[in-house]
Structure 1
Amino acid sequence: MQQVPSISEVRRARRSAHWAERQRRQVEARGEAGLADAWWDRARAICKTNPELWNDLARTLENWTGRHDGRHDA
């Protein structure tokens, strides 16, 4: 007997398909910069649903820029 997926599983799959298609279009249009834009959009969408995540995203970006700009006091 085949199990019917739950509503949350269907929503998760649909959301994942949406982001994958958006990412594909962004990369097609703008290359690697489009890929970065797609990830930014997704990160903002995730933070919008859980405002506490903005701090985590900010710290992640601070660490990343510190590794790539030669300074650690950014």
Structure 2
Amino acid sequence: MTFYIGEKELEVKLYHDKGNKDIVKVEVRDQEKWKKLNSCNEEIRKNCQFGGLLVKEAIKQGFLLDLEN
């Protein structure tokens, strides 16, 4: 999944945990880009949520609970 933030892009990979199918892993592909965006407090999809969490919170947590599985 790609988020467009101004003229920048942030690629986020979502996938089920191998050991627990109720967990969806949230992983940023480019950690350097993530650090730069995070340090300048860029807004990442203000009204977009994953599993009830804002995108930035879901990335920091590193996982979501898949309530439909």
Q: What is the TM-score normalised by the length of structure 1?
A: 0.25
Q: What is the TM-score normalised by the length of structure 2?
A: 0.26
More helix by share: 1
- Highest Rg: 1 or 2? 1
